[in-house]
Structure formats: structure tokens, C-alpha cells
Amino acid sequence: MKLYQYLSEDSIRVRLQSGQKEQAIAELAELLKDHPAMEDFQKFLSGVLAREKESTTGVGRGVAIPHARTDSVKDFVAAIGLAPEGIDFQAVDGQPVKLIVLMGVPSHKINGYLKLLAHLSLLFKQHDFVHDLLEASDPAAVIETFKRYEE
């Protein structure tokens, strides 16, 4: 499973307007509101925010992966947001988050979900990958960066 296959230019914001965690998540979720796989947008957003309250999805190195396993989506959905100034996500390393990958996964697709989280974890450990994403000037460059590293 490659993330770039699920991204479109409409699901990427290279400069998030929101400077707070919950607002940034809502801003990214809004990009998925009209996605064909979205069944119940409010339930999806509520699920992501509830998951975030359980424990931070700020995984370190400036990256956060807010997500929800939910019946509010009928297929995998993802949105990417860049926050050059950084957002406090209470990340595990205490650093501000500059790259956010918002995901929704149907409840019944647990295997694919776990594989994708593991895949992203390995990608985000590569300093050059994160750096290249943060340097992306437009959504097409974000997709191209994912494609280049995932192939």
C-alpha cells in the first residue's frame, strides 16, 4: 500500500492556515469532506479528534499522523498538511509538528491500516524524505516526493 496512490492535489495543503492542533486537523479534514469514500464527515472528524485526545499522534521529528479507524469512511482517505512555523501537537519528542498526515481507515481494514502506519513510520525516519516534503512548493510536489520515496 503506497500513500501517494490515495493522494490528490485537492487533499494537500502546503501552508496550513491553522496554528492550533484541533483546528489544523479540522482544516485538513475539510479537504476530505467531498471525497467519494466519505460516508459521514462529522463522525469522521469526531473520531479523529477523539483519537487525538487519547494520546498524541505527534510521532516526533516534526511529524504527526492523526487518524481514525471508523465506519464513516468506506475506503482509505488521506490528506497532507505542511505547517512551516510548526504546531504544538504535544509530540513525543516535544518538537513542533510541521508535517501532518491525516488518515481515515474503514474499521474492518485493520491489516492494511497497520501496514500503512508501519510504512509511514519507516518513511518518516528518513531525514531527507521529511526535508523534501517540507520544501514542496505545491501539492503536485508533495505527491511527487511521496512517489519518489515509495517506489
- Residue numbers annotated as active site: 67
Residues ≥6 apart with Cβ < 8 Å to 6: 76, 77, 78
Instruction: Provide, for the chain, the percentages of residues in helix, strand and coil under a 3-state DSSP scheme, each rounded to the nearest 5.
Output: 45, 25, 35
- For residue 13, which amino acid is it? R
Integer Cα distance of 63 and 70 in angstroms: 22
